[in-house]
Amino acid sequence: MAKDHRAGSKVKGDKLPAILMASDLLEGDTVFLFKDGWTRDSREARIAYDQETADAMEAEGKGAAAANAVVDPYLVPVELTEDGHPVARHFRDVMRQKGPSVHLDMGKQADFGPIA
Amino acid sequence: MYRYDEFDERFVRERVDQFRTQIARRLDGSLSEDEFKPLRLKNGLYLQLHAYMLRIAVPYGTMSGRQLRQLAKIAREYDKGYGHFTTRQNLQFNWPKLKDIPAILDLLADVEMHAIQTSGNCIRNTTADQFSGVAADESEDPRPTAELLRQWSSQHPEFVWLPRKFKIAVTGAEHDRAAIKVHDIGLKLKRNEAGEPGYEISVGGGLGRTPMIGKVIREFLPKDELLAYVEAIMRVYNAEGRRDNKFKARVKILVHETGAEEFTRRVEDEYAKLDGPTINAPQEEIERIAAYFAAPDYEDLPAESVTLDSARREDAGLDRFVEQNGFAHKQPGYIAFTVSLKPVGGVPGDMSADQMDAFADIAEKYSLGELRVTHSQNLVLPYVKKDDVPALYTELKAHGLATANAGLVTDIIACPGLDYCALATAKSIPIAQEIAKTFADDARQKEIGELPIKISGCINACGHHHVGAIGILGLEKGGRENYQITIGGDATEHASLGERLGPGIDGEDVPGAIEAIVETYLGEKQGSESFIETVRRVGADPFKTRFASFVEERSKALEAAE
């Protein structure tokens, strides 16, 4: 079956630093790889600054998908705010990280406050 | 309205039970995502950017107040208090959880609803004119045909794994409000010279990345031969449609590559081989279905209502609402209404649970308990007595449902776009909101007149941009959202595809560009010409010229700002 959604980040060029994003299997919402398991608060997301860490995180994501915890994990290139919080570089990833732009009362932006 | 028989009821309940066990197997790990995905799609369940999305079928856009009330309950208990009506006359919930889906499907089944045939490579929910059965310009009600096709296509064993999805639309009126020319099969009810009922059949229309206008392959098919003939079309498509390339798998590509004449020959050959009488529905079944769509017991009323006429003179808002959203009814003393889900600044097609409850009451009080969904993401009250209109208007207004903009520049079709959709390349809803704000003034909207703007947030064209009088397509270009603008598209019996005006522009420039296009129209307009009529007469060139100068002005302004 052909892919019927746009998997992966669309950022071109240098892809680091990065975080790992996925959809939670049960709830369907966006989750981020944390130091230990998954978090819904992107400010806590584990950040890969080098390729080796990124590869390890990706492998961990694949493992979680195989274990039926998450769906479609992928690395998301980010920039860091002054507080050191990761913010996705591509507008599509930002939408997932925050929530719908037309409903600021929904999604992660509603649960955790403004995300940069 | 159609009522489920025992078979329908059992079929839907069995499907819910099946999917319940499939979800359980997914959750316990027996099914991988790759195995589960085609199963969930067959039940209308998608995984979008922020959550799962459940698409619920509203066959030919017809729904009862009771059903809408149940949707309100689901919205409140299992979603975030609202639902979204789509360009396929369906309803989507944007936030359901996988674990809650069986409970939601049970609630739907309780009111004869489901999510079957809203996704996957099957024959999808058949759509129809939203004014079916009541339109003054209708020759025959398309709903019995749509219902017959629903029953025939539901789980048709031969057509559950087609090369790609397949959409059928039906109209019984001269003026096509169901966009039949941009469907895989478009059916138009008509009569031949002898006065016998039948269909004109178009095949191979569609939007998406390769937009096509359907080709008429049968000028007249006797009415009782419908299922066998459609089966012949499906068999040719099923056998020859391209399964090697998803992007070339729709029947429109097959018709285009084969040529309409040769495709017709193959269908006719197949049709000659079929044993029609074993496929076509027996007469008593056709009559059984038709009986559900018999005209209601209308009251014998004078054509004009003194009550309404005097209320209109006293209340300019009511007068404007009736003028813009009222629709001529075939029964004297009655009127149908488009109820706009496009308040300025709102999300096109969204309706809150509270509004659903209120509207269910309104439909029961003023429209014999029935409502319709339009492919323009609005609702319709089909059976309103003119005498009741002042009271109806007051209630609609109280619930924010009396926006008098049906068909106007602020009545914009927009797909969910990047705000929700995993396929989207750009936002769509915020563009619609900004355009609506720009043209919010009622007098200005009225002066501009009928102007369907349609916005899609990706090339798949759920927002029907190809057939918008003004079409807007959001893409990604150089890591930014970028919008291409077309004009001259038309989804009616004069179906045509829009023509691009020039290079893509930034989202923030779209409202200004639309203003430039509208100004060009008002300058070129003769007499009472609508936008699309002016475009047809003068062509796209004056619009391209004005658009080019708009783009140049904007880039100069940007340079100056830097």
What are A40-92's pLDDT values in tens digits? 999 999 999 999 999 999 999 999 999 999 999 999 999 999 999 999 999 99
Residues 4-63 of A with CB under 8 A from B: 4-6, 10-12, 23, 25-30
pLDDT mean over B22-33? 95
Number of separate domains in chain A: 1
Q: Inform me whether the pLDDT recorded for A5 exceeds 80.
A: no
Tell whether A13 is covered by a domain. Answer: no
Q: Inform me whether the pLDDT recorded for B223 exceeds 90.
A: yes
Residue B462 at interface with chain A, using a CB cutoff of 8 Å? no
Band of pLDDT at residue B117, cut at 50, 70 and 90: confident
Residue B153: phi, psi to the nearest 5? -85, -20
Mean pLDDT of chain A: 92
Q: Tell me whether residues B423 and A95 touch, CB distance under 8 A.
A: no
Q: Which residues of A touch B507 (CB under 8 A)?
A: none
ipTM score of the complex?
A: 0.94
Q: Tell me whether residues A28 and B51 touch, CB distance under 8 A.
A: yes
Band of pLDDT at residue B397, cut at 50, 70 and 90: very high
Q: Encode burial over B100-125: b for 16+ CB neighbours within 10 A, e otherwise.
A: bbbbbbebbbebbbbbbbbbbbbbbb
Q: Whole-angstrom Cα distance, residue B537 to residue B514?
A: 19
Tell whether A2 is covered by a domain. Answer: no
Q: Which amino acid is located at B181 in the chain?
A: K
Q: Inform me whether the pLDDT recorded for B354 exceeds 60.
A: yes
Q: Whole-angstrom Cα distance, residue B104 to residue B16?
A: 10
The alpha helices in chain A, defined as continuous H runs, are 51-66, 91-98, 108-112
Tell whether A50 is covered by a domain. Answer: yes
Mean pLDDT of chain B: 96
Residue A69 at interface with chain B, using a CB cutoff of 8 Å? no
Tell me which residue of B147, B142, B148 sits closest to B170, measured CA to CA: B142
C-beta of residue A18 within 8 angstroms of C-beta of residue A88: no
For residue A94, give its domain range: 18-111
Q: Tell me whether residues A101 and B430 touch, CB distance under 8 A.
A: yes
Band of pLDDT at residue A3, cut at 50, 70 and 90: very low
Q: What's the pLDDT at B276?
A: 84
Residue of A nearest to B434 (CA): A102
Q: Whole-angstrom Cα distance, residue B89 to residue B293?
A: 19
The secondary structure element, H or E, covering residue A88 is: strand A86-88
Across B174-284, the runs of DSSP E, i.e. the strands, are 185-191, 197-203, 215-222
Q: Report which of residues B216 and A1 the model is more confident about.
A: B216
Q: Whole-angstrom Cα distance, residue B120 to residue B38?
A: 7
**Max avg pLDDT among B5-9, B117-121, B394-398:** B394-398
Band of pLDDT at residue B206, cut at 50, 70 and 90: very high
The DSSP 8-state label assigned to residue B125 in this structure reads -
Q: What's the pLDDT at A6?
A: 63
Tell whether A27 is covered by a domain. Answer: yes
Tokens encoding B305: 């209502």
Is B512 in a helix, a strand, or coil?
Answer: helix
Residue of B nearest to A106 (CA): B80
pLDDT mean over B417-422? 98
Among B47, B97, B425, beta carbon nearest to A71: B47
Q: What's the pLDDT at A1?
A: 34
Tell whether A9 is covered by a domain. Answer: no
Q: Tell me whether residues B95 and A106 touch, CB distance under 8 A.
A: yes
Q: Encode burial over B73-98: b for 16+ CB neighbours within 10 A, e otherwise.
A: bbbbebbbebbbbbbbbbbbbbbbbb
Answer yes or no: same fold for B6-110 and B413-561.
no
Residue of B nearest to A89 (CA): B479
Which of the listed CATH numbers 3.40.50.720, 3.30.430.20, 3.90.480.20, 3.30.70.20 matches domain B6-110? 3.90.480.20
Contacts of B233 (CB under 8 A, 6+ apart): B185, B201, B203, B217, B251, B267
Band of pLDDT at residue B551, cut at 50, 70 and 90: very high
Tokens encoding B410: 């602020």
Q: Inform me whether the pLDDT recorded for B527 exceeds 50.
A: yes
Q: Tell me whether residues B423 and A4 touch, CB distance under 8 A.
A: yes
Is domain B306-398 given the CATH code 3.90.480.20 in the classification?
A: yes
Q: Which residues of B touch A64 (CB under 8 A)?
A: none
CATH T-level fold of B413-561:
Sulfite Reductase Hemoprotein; domain 1 (3.30.413)
Q: What's the pLDDT at B1?
A: 84
Quick one: what percent of chain B has pLDDT higher than 90?
96
pLDDT mean over B289-300? 95
Q: Which residues of B touch A96 (CB under 8 A)?
A: 49-50
Best of B40, B45, B50, B99 to substitute, by most chain A Cβ atoms within 10 angstroms, is: B50
pLDDT mean over B45-71? 97
The secondary structure element, H or E, covering residue B326 is: strand B326-328
Among A11, A66, A95, beta carbon nearest to B49: A95
Q: Which residues of A touch B476 (CB under 8 A)?
A: 10
Tell whether A47 is covered by a domain. Answer: yes
The dotted CATH code for B134-292 is: 3.30.413.10
pLDDT mean over A7-29? 90
Prediction pTM value: 0.96
Tokens encoding B96: 């359901």
Distance of CA B531 to the CA centre of its chain: 22
Q: What's the pLDDT at A2?
A: 38
Q: Inform me whether the pLDDT recorded for B2 exceeds 90.
A: no
Tell whether A5 is covered by a domain. Answer: no
Shortest Cα distance, chain A CAs vs residue B195, angstroms: 46
Contacts of B7 (CB under 8 A, 6+ apart): none
Is B38 in a helix, a strand, or coil?
Answer: helix
What are B482-513's pLDDT values in tens digits? 999 999 999 999 999 999 999 999 999 999 99
Residue A72 at interface with chain B, using a CB cutoff of 8 Å? yes
Q: Whole-angstrom Cα distance, residue B371 to residue B41?
A: 27
Band of pLDDT at residue A7, cut at 50, 70 and 90: low
Among A10, A27, A96, beta carbon nearest to B97: A27
Quick one: what percent of chain B has pLDDT higher than 70?
100
Q: Which residues of B touch A99 (CB under 8 A)?
A: 50
Q: Tell me whether residues B49 and A96 touch, CB distance under 8 A.
A: yes
Q: Indicate the domain borders of chain B.
A: 6-110, 134-292, 306-398, 413-561
